[in-house]
Structure 1
Amino acid sequence: MSSKYLIPKEKGLGIVNTAVFIVGDVSGTGILSLARAVEDTGWTGLILIVVFAIISAYTGILLGEAWIMASELFEDCKGHIQNPYQLLAQKTYDKVGRYVLSVSLHTTVFGGAVVFLLLAADNMQSLVQTLGYDLSFCFWVLILITLLLPLTWFGTPKHFWLIAYGSTLSTISTTAIILVSVGEEAPTQPKVRHHEINGEGFMLALGTIVFALGGHPNFLTLQVDMNRQKDFRKSIFLTFIIVSCLYLPVASVGYFVYGDSLDANIINNLPPGGPTYVALILITIHLLSAFVIILNPLLQEVDMVLHVPKEFTWKRCVTRSFVLICVLFVAETIPKFEYVLSLIGGSSLTILVFICPILFHMRMCKLKANAGNNVAMVTMDVQAPLDEKFEPIAPWRKVLNYEIICIGVLAGVTATVSAIINIVSPDSFSVPCYINITRAST
């Protein structure tokens, strides 16, 4: 089959641009939170970061390959698609698959946007306090959502590529500042102590690690905007090499220098001064940029469901503004980013990272094998048969795939339960902003 059907007519993203988008999507929260996650898991947390990075890259590649097969087999999977992940779920597991995928995807994207907003507000409050002003965290959430609103009116990722580059460069610069600042402060630190590892903290940390490495909700949205969709695997390789080079040094120095004094946001451990203020500004730029990127698939889905034209219209502004109001409400209700982060990482994101890519790829391999080379006979109305017995995947790969699914389910369930317990626990419960606007974040 000619590859021309897989390439949109208008110019799209290249390999590097796609990788930059993904790095800008996932890296900010990991830079800030993984050091504490390693403290909660012990030095084995560094190994877990590497293992989960490899697994995420593997499942991301499988997801991209599954979409390429779908593009070859189905007419309605060619070119630019507003909701590729959901469409792939429908082609492989019919309406049930699409429903499960949609719920997981929307929950993850929505929760991720809340996390980015809360982190950005926390950073802005800290920055302004150093200047002698005290503006409530809750007010900062409202201010930032207002500033972000016009940026969410853009159509697809290729329309705001400059945002992605700004996000990624901000993250890299912040990483450098953190490493230099911690390195300068290390000789003055007292003897490092590490707290005893407990099951609940370990599981919460797993949720944090998964969240920091789970860019899958946006993967296919970016792939369909590429010049050559088959190059997506190269973007995935480049992405996780960059992300690992950012995460491991920061998590390591934080763990070995600060130990049990680590805050959920490592920037709060840095000494006051110019470099720390610059880091706060840069990482906040990243978080706000990533907010726009990560929320885009959900916004496109809302546009499609409500039949909003693809061209820029007032209808898009209204529908997307309503979504942001919902994000604002949740952020003001649960103003503790670390709990939301662990909850999303352990629940819906686990489904999108560990389960769906593998199952969709295996099902699509069966469908392609049974379709043979006569692609022209496969139409947009064909669904993947659920009773096929042909197995085109090597046994060892099937074993590996099922092992990854089991690991994901086990880690996800335990992390989710731990996050829920912490959210509702009286000892850690945080008062919503609309009940106490001055003390909700403390």
Structure 2
Amino acid sequence: MAEIKFTKSTEEVSLINADDQPIETTTGLNVFTTCLFIVGVIAGSGFLTLPKAIDDSGWIGFVLILFCCFVSAYTGDILGKCWIMVVNRHPEFDKAKLRYPYPTIGQEAFGKWGRFVVSFSINFTQFGGTVVYILLAAENIVTLLPSDTKITCCYIALIVGAAMTPFTWLGTPKDFWGIAAAATLATSIASVILFAAVLYNGREVDISEVTHTKVDVITFFTAYGTICFAFNGHPAFPTFQSDMANPRKFGRALILGYLIVLFMYLPSSAAGYAVYGSQVQPNVLNTIPKGVTSTLVSLLMTAHLLFGIIIVINPVSQELEHFINIPEHFTWKRVLARTITMASALFVVASVPHFSSILSLVGGSTISILAFICPCLFYLKLCRGDKDREPVHIPLHTKVLLYEIIFTGFVAGIAATYSAITDLAVNKFTVPCYVDPSRACSQQAAG
């Protein structure tokens, strides 16, 4: 029988067997491949949208990036500890019998309501992320086409969705780790090239004369939602962890993954903010001059986004299949269910063809719930124990930190959600593609 073991500060959780030895299966993801999935699911949209978010929030946007990165990594580790506690309480929840662990953590902590909140938030987040990735990929592809082409972003988005649908039929992350590796490699190369391109294009710019957007409450919290989205990964973290050969090593993969993402984000974001200022577009690729460099970055980022669609939509598909009892092995039922899921995403793409609006809304609402609030609440609740289990001691400084994260996530999440809705309704109302298929993905209403 597996047991849970707490060492040192009582927060280092290990999965052990009856002989006091760590449990490690012979198959599954290792630390490196798990890190690739973490980077693959996080990096991408943030790499393209953070320069604009920093301009909208001012220099404090850099503080927000560091804050969101630290908190996301910390709560991701807390979530990993929660999963190990749940597995030790219920050994039947092994990787062969449980598809989607985050809702199970919620149910173990707070019953059916905990599961419902997590399931809804995850599906909303990952579904919205899929929409954002499709729109960004479509916009990048349009920029690569000849200027006189009549194929618009609306049509390209449909083509992207149709082309990627067969790849979404793959099972769980361990079945397509090569896709995560390709996505990470593409983004890493693109981040270096984009940073160099911005510096080269800005070599004659007097930074002291660059103007920046006037920051107000709406732009600040909308930017906060964008930054939260840039570090979105919690919906998939327990899935990656449950697919690991040794789940207790998840924290190592998490730290390494977030460090890689941070080193991707900061240089290009700082350069874009300093060189372009208020001229930077929601997709920074639309800001840099056209040429070989911009084409290469567009190709690499489009590749990442296409790979990312497969990774991001997978948790939604698994949750749906678990709910309607579709077998885990490949069947026509999986094909039908995942095709319908992608078709639904394409309908939203056609209805709200403005990626920055969806990005800010999702980042401020459900990502705040999944990344800030739920991991901390679940950990505090699980450590209290029950009639069958002794409570686990949590040091006072850790409790204070957890409650501060919960409070910050709650307040900032409400403000960011309100700001995103207001910005969408007032400034970024867009005509659906099925009304005007000639419009662009990032086109805003006049005025």
State which of 131, 151, 168 in structure 2 corresponds to 1:114: 131
Cα distance per residue 1:141-176 (max 9 Å; x no partner): 100001100100000001011110110011011101
Which of 366, 369, 379 lines up with 1:348 in the alignment? 366
> What residue number does 2:7 align with?
none
CA distance in 2, matches of 1:336, 1:108: 16
CA shift, 1:48, in A, is 1.2
Alignment partner for residue 63 of structure 1, among 73, 79, 86? Answer: 79
Amino acid at match of 1:103: F
Give the whole-Å Cα distance in 1 for the aligned partners of 2:95 and 2:201.
Answer: 52
Partner of 2:213: 195
Q: Deviations over 1:207-262 (max 9, x none)?
A: 00100012100000000000100000001110111111111111100011111101
1:270 and 2:288 correspond? yes
Measured against aligned partners, the alpha-carbon deviations of 1:326-369 in whole angstroms (never above 9, x if no partner) come to: 00000110000001000000001110000110111111222289
CA distance, structure 2, for counterparts of residue 66 and residue 54 of structure 1: 18
Listed as ranges, the matches of 1:216-235 within 5 Å are 216-235=234-253
The reply on whether 1:32 has 2:48 as its aligned counterpart is: yes
SS in 2 for 1:78: coil
* Residues 1:97 and 2:114 are matched in the alignment: yes
- Pairwise mapping of residues 238-387 of structure 1 onto structure 2 (< 5 A)? 238-367=256-385, 371-372=389-390
Separation in 1, partners of 2:35, 2:366: 23
- Contact 1:73/1:368 (8 A) holds in 2: no
Residue 54 of structure 1 is matched in structure 2 by 70
In structure 2, give the amino acid aligned to 1:223: Q
| Structure 1 residues 421 and 152: CA distance shift in structure 2, 3 A | same
Segment drifting more, 67-76 vs 190-199: 190-199
- Aligned with residue 76 of structure 1, among 92, 98, 117: 92
Secondary structure of residue in 1 paired with 2:243: coil
Give 2:412's aligned residue: 411
Q: Is the 8 A contact 2:41 2:232 kept in 1?
A: no
Gaps of 5+ in 1: 373-389
Measure how far apart 1:4 and its partner are. Answer: 6.8
**Mapped contact 1:114–1:331 kept (Cα < 8 A):** yes
The 2-side partners of 1:410 and 1:128 are apart by 43
| Cα-to-partner distance string for 1:364-402 (whole Å, 9 max, x where unaligned) | 222289624xxxxxxxxxxxxxxxxx5722222111111
CA distance in structure 2 between the aligned counterparts of 1:217 and 1:79, rounded to whole angstroms: 17
What's the offset of the Cα at 1:318?
Answer: 0.4
Distance in 1, matches of 2:342 and 2:383, equals 38
In the comparison of the two structures, how many residue pairs are matched?
423
| Matched letter for residue 424 of structure 2 | I
Provide the residue aligned with 2:395 in structure 1: 394
| Matched residue type, 2:205 | Q
In structure 2, give the amino acid aligned to 1:76.
E
Identity of aligned residues (%): 38
Structure 2 length-normalised TM: 0.91
> How far apart are 1:269 and its partner, in Å?
1.2
Q: 1:161 to 1:391 in 2, by over 3 A?
A: closer
Q: Is the 8 A contact 1:118 1:335 kept in 2?
A: yes
Mean CA deviation greater in 315-324 or 431-440: 431-440
1:433 equivalent in alignment to 2:433: yes
Amino acid at match of 1:21: F
Mapped to 2, the partners of 1:415 and 1:175 lie a distance apart of 27
* Secondary structure, aligned partner of 1:367: coil
Distance 1:395 1:180 in 2: 46
Corresponding residue number in structure 2 for 1:379: none
Q: 2-side partners of 1:365 and 1:117: how far apart?
A: 40
Q: Tell me the CA shift for residue 9 of structure 1.
A: 5.0
Secondary structure in 1 matching 2:327: coil
Structural RMSD (CA): 1.7
Contact in 1 for aligned 2:193/2:297 (Cα 8 Å): yes
Which residue of structure 1 lines up, in the alignment, with residue 224 of structure 2?
Answer: 206
Amino acid at match of 2:309: F
SS at match of 2:419: helix
User: How far, CA to CA, are the matches of 1:111 and 1:18 in structure 2?
Assistant: 23
Return the alpha-carbon distance in structure 1 between the equivalents of residues 392 and 95 of structure 2. Answer: 29
What residue number does 1:383 align with? none
Q: Distance in 1 between matches of 2:28 and 2:73?
A: 22
Quick one: distance in 2 between partners of 1:156 and 1:7? 21
What's the CA shift for 1:17? 0.7
Q: Does the Cα contact within 8 Å between 1:83 and 1:297 map onto a contact in 2?
A: yes
Query: Residues 218 and 423 of structure 2 are in contact (CA less than 8 Å); yes or no, is this contact kept in structure 1?
Result: no
Give the CA deviation at 1:116: 0.6
* Distance in 2, Cα, partners of 1:166 & 1:291: 13
AA in 2 matched with 1:433: C
Q: Deviations over 1:384-423 (max 9, x none)?
A: xxxxxx5722222111111111111111111111111122
Letter of the 1:439 partner, please give it. R
Structure with a larger share of its residues in helix = 1
TM-score by length of 1: 0.92
Q: What's the CA shift for 1:8?
A: 7.6
Alignment of 1:151 with 2:152, yes or no, is: no
User: In structure 1, what residue type is equivalent to 2:434?
Assistant: Y
**Runs of at least 5 residues in structure 2 that lack an aligned partner in the other structure:** 4-14
**How far apart in 2 are the matches of 1:71 and 1:351?**
23
d(CA) in 1 for partners of 2:161 and 2:23? 35
Give distance in 2, aligned partners of 1:79 and 1:28. Answer: 28
Instruction: Give the equivalent residue in structure 2 for 1:171.
Output: 187
Contact kept in structure 1, 2:25 and 2:246, CA below 8 Å: no
SS in 2 for 1:77: coil
Letter matched to residue 45 of structure 1: G
Q: Distance in 2 between matches of 1:139 and 1:60?
A: 37
